[in-house]
């Protein structure tokens, strides 16, 4: 049946959506930079799921090809990498406030990690693409995670491919342990950031209240 589909034509709107969304999300990052503010977005990547992966997932989940547009949420997929866990929640807030997308599902794997140890925040939404025939609404998914979460997920994915999804028990345990170490690293870095910000605020407060105390004298 897949041979009857014009895959190139079918995927064009998804490719267009990924490119448009990458530009928009990178634009948000630039806006924060221009305001000299901390940007919650470190960088953005995107891809359209390859035909082979679409067919494999459709077979696994018993999704008829004629229902791909409505039943497969991640044909168009984006990833937003953040420095801190708090940035993830800020990105989600920014997405909720946009009027060019309609969020239909959120999956919080930060608070509720997967059994494997995987952590990320997934947002599934509808996005309008302008095509020759008019407007076409497609489904897209964005995964939001820290750099360290992305490192773990990338390695786990490559190992999962190697083992065909059947990890030996000791590997599962070690991967979970590594996932927890990654989360502890994120927590520690967030705490260090907060302490630095508090110290900077205290320094600024002292500068305002005691300007003469902080004047430098020229010594010849």
Catalytic residues: 141
Q: Three-class SS string for 82-102?
A: ECCHHHHHHHHHHHHCCCCCE
Instruction: Give the chain's length.
Output: 220
φ/ψ (deg, to 5) at 79: -130, 135
Contact 129, 75 (CB under 8 A): no
Token pair 């509808």 in the structure block, residue: 126
Q: How far apart are CA 215 and CA 220, in angstroms?
A: 16
């Amino acid at each position: 049946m897949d041979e009857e589909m014009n895959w190139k034509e079918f995927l064009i709107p998804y490719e267009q959506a990924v490119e448009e969304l990458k530009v928009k999300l990178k634009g948000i990052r630039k806006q924060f930079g221009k305001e000299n503010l901390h940007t919650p977005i470190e960088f953005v990547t995107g891809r359209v799921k390859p035909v082979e992966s679409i067919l494999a997932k459709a077979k696994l989940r018993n999704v008829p090809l004629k229902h791909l547009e409505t039943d497969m949420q991640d044909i168009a997929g984006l990833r937003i990498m953040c420095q801190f866990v708090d940035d993830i929640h800020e990105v989600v807030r920014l997405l909720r406030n946009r009027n060019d997308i309609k969020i239909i599902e959120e999956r919080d794997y930060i608070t509720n990690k997967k059994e494997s140890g995987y952590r990320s925040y997934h947002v599934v939404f509808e996005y309008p693409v302008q095509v020759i025939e008019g407007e076409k609404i497609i489904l897209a998914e964005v995964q939001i995670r820290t750099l360290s979460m992305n490192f773990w997920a990338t390695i786990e994915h490559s190992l999962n491919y190697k083992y065909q999804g059947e990890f030996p028990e000791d590997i599962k345990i070690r991967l979970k342990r590594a996932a927890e170490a990654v989360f502890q690293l994120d927590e520690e870095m967030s705490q260090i950031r907060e302490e630095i910000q508090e110290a900077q605020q205290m320094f600024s407060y002292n500068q305002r209240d005691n300007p003469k105390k902080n004047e430098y004298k020229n010594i010849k």
